[in-house]
Amino acid sequence: MKYSVKKTFRAVLCALCVAVMCFSAAACNGNMFRFDDEELDSAIKEVLDTVDFKADESYSGTLRIVTNQEPDQITIMNALLDGFKKKYPSVTVEYDNYPSAGYKDTLTNMNSACSLNGKYETFPDVFWASNTDVTEYQSLDMLMPVDYFDGRDDSFDFANLVQIMVDDCKVGEHVYLMPRDSDRMVMYYNKDFLAKAGVSEEELHPERALTKSEFMALMDKCKNVKNDEGKDVSALDAFWNWESLLWPLLHAYGGSVVKEENGVTVSALNSPETLETYKFIKELNIKGYMTEGGTGNYWRFKNKLSVFLFGVRATLTDLAANISNIGVVPMPNLHDNEDRYFVGTGCSGYAMYRHAANPTSAWLFQKYVASEEGQNAISATGNNIPVLKELFDDDNAVWRNVTVNGNENFNHNAYIYKYDTASLTAQTGYRELIKPITAIKEVSKAFEDSIKYVLQNTTASDYTDEKNGIPKFLRSYHRDINNAIKIASGK
């Protein structure tokens, strides 16, 4: 008996390894390899040929929808499905919700599994996505460009929707998300605290935005309010760590996050304009109007610990449930120049899966979301401004007639003040400029973190100091943004 036994053992082991490797390589679906650029037009044409654009109320099919488990999402989806099922009684709808934590990861994992084993029908047809996720999903080829559907369908036109929201849902030239609302930053206030500070509601000029000097004077008047338990109440609560609030202000001051230089996108964060902007925000801290970077979830305002809040419509019912006497005015102008008035807007919506098994029913649902009926159903929940343009100025539209805590005179106009001229989204602002799109997530994160660390770590006496103040953080996040772009471009 020679060492042939050991040899056989080794041979068996090697054969096993090779077999497993071949098996795993073969297990990869052929669809996964894409060595030539996909001809989008022809690929989508194949899908369009399977869609029935003449489908009407008698259409019968199935539809699978998925959202996350936020209570608001579930309420809105249920409101939509009530109407949708009445309109299309023969469509069977399966609605699932996945945990909010890792919602995106769950979907991307499922997509990876589908691309590897070819079972695309296990993925839902329609899923909720926010505007910030569109680029990420698109880089993974998970979204159907529905502008093609718009082209083929006579009964629907994206031009009826608010243009800036449609742009927010685009990557390149194609629209990948059906926006369901158009959200906007406004300034909420607690009427009780306002009274305690000795400011009347008329002083807030609810029909126009406050100028910067008016705003600062207002903050000064409200910084010494105490609540019922004798605790200090801050004048302002805001979540600066969010691009919808930070980017418009930076843009107003003339700064930008990225810029194109010789055909390459580079960071533009480390500029005097950014320093001015961050100085202004830090001043709010130092003058005692605001603690730190504000709080996520707006819990200071909700727990009656601040007078004002920079907030959005999407959380209105939550805020109103906590503050019975809530009022709203348009977002103030935080720049000296009246022409540099920009307000952050954004949306979320429902996307169709690129390899959806039921594209017809998915398109019917997306159209329903953007229709007057669907928009009114969503607005009835109280938290949404419609994305259908005609409903904006319609005095009888549902969203204008929602009573907030019994107050029929709630200032709904604050949400659309100077909508066409002042609205600004991060997508058309800086996200469009970032190439490749896989860098967008990290760049946004670096941008948002920069203000967080400036507010947290620069001390009062030297915050413009080159070595230890705001410039130090600006340099480091400037570098992070450049690195993020380089990594994504393969360097």
Partner 1 sequence: MSIGIKHNSIARGGGALSSSLPCRIKKHRYSKRMLRTSLQCWVFLIPVSVGMVVFAATPIFMSLFFSFTNYNGAFISQIGLFNFKRLFDFSSVAGERFLNSMRVTFIYVIANMAFCTVLSYALALFLHRKMKGIGVVRLLFYLPCLIPGFISGFIYMAIFRYSASGTTGLINTWLLNLGLPQATFFSAKSTAIPTLVFTSVFGLGGGMIMLLAAFSNIPPTLYEAARLDGAGYFKQLFHITIPLSTPIVFYNLVTSLIAGLQTFGTYAAYGTGPEEEFNFMAVEIYRMAFSYHNYGLACAEAYLLFVIVGLLSIIMFKFSGWVHYGDD
Partner 2 sequence: MTTDFYTCSTQLISSSRRKARKTALDYIVKYAVALLLLCVVLLPVAFMLFQSVMSYPESSGLEMHLFPHSFQPSNYKIILDYLSQLGNTLLVVAINAFFIPLTACITAFPFARAKFIGKKVAFAIILATVMVPASVLQIPTYTMYATVGLTGKLASLWIQSFFGGGALNIFLVIQFMRTLPKELDEAALIDGASLFRIFAVIIMPLVFNVFVYICINTVIAQWMDFQGPLMYLATGSEKSYTLALKFYVDYTNSTYLSDHYNEMMAMVVCMSLPPVALFLVFQQRMIGGIKIGGLKD
For partner 1, the binding residues (CB under 8 A) are 1-3, 5-6, 16-17, 20-21, 23-25, 27-28, 31-35, 105, 108, 111-112, 115, 136, 139-142, 285, 291-293, 438-439, 441-442, 455-460, 476, 483, 486-488, 490-491
Q: Which does 460 bind (CB under 5 to 8 A by kind): partner 2, partner 1, none?
A: partner 1
* 110 near partner 2 (CB under 8 A): yes
Q: Which of 60, 90, 303, 457 binds partner 2 (CB under 8 A)?
A: 303
Q: How far apart are CA 306 and CA 293, in angstroms?
A: 13
The per-residue DSSP string of 378-395 comes to HHTTSS---SBGGGTS-T
Site for partner 2 in 115-174 (CB under 8 A): 116-117, 119, 122
Q: Which does 1 bind (CB under 5 to 8 A by kind): partner 1, partner 2, none?
A: partner 1
DSSP character at residue 246? H
Structure tokens, 427:
């997508």
Q: How many CA atoms lie within 13 A of 319 on its CB side?
A: 29
CB of 63 within 8 A of CB of 93?
A: yes
* C-alpha pair distances (Å), 111 with each of 69, 125, 138, 207: 20, 12, 12, 48
CB 24, min distance to partner 2, A: 8
**Of the candidates 467, 98, 476, the residue with the CA atom closest to the CA atom of residue 267:** 476
Site for partner 2 in 13-72 (CB under 8 A): 13, 24, 68-71
CB 312, min distance to partner 2, A: 14
359-370 helix and 372-379 helix, angle to the nearest 10 degrees: 70
CB 306, min distance to partner 2, A: 12
Q: Which is nearer to partner 2, 291 or 413 (CB)?
A: 291
Q: Which is nearer to partner 1, 332 or 471 (CB)?
A: 471
CB of 83 within 8 A of CB of 373?
A: yes
Q: Which is nearer to partner 2, 122 or 457 (CB)?
A: 122
Q: How far apart are CA 45 and CA 77, in angstroms?
A: 30
Q: Which does 198 bind (CB under 5 to 8 A by kind): partner 2, partner 1, none?
A: none
DSSP character at residue 353? B
CB 27, min distance to partner 1, A: 8
Q: Which is nearer to partner 2, 152 or 299 (CB)?
A: 299
CB 301, min distance to partner 1, A: 17
Per-residue burial over 136-161, b if 16 or more Cβ lie within 10 Å, else e, is: bbbbeebbbbbbbbbeebeebebeeb
For the chain, the first-to-last Cα distance in angstroms comes to 56
Q: Which is nearer to partner 1, 159 or 460 (CB)?
A: 460
Residues in the interface with partner 2 (CB under 8 A) total 31
Q: How many CA atoms lie within 13 A of 316 on its CB side?
A: 26
Q: How far apart are CA 366 and CA 152, in angstroms?
A: 15
* 403 near partner 2 (CB under 8 A): no
CB 101, min distance to partner 2, A: 4
CB 77, min distance to partner 2, A: 15
CB 109, min distance to partner 2, A: 5
Binding-site ranges for partner 2 (CB under 8 A): 5-6, 9, 13, 24, 68-71, 96, 98-102, 105-106, 109-110, 112-114, 116-117, 119, 122, 291, 297, 299, 303, 318
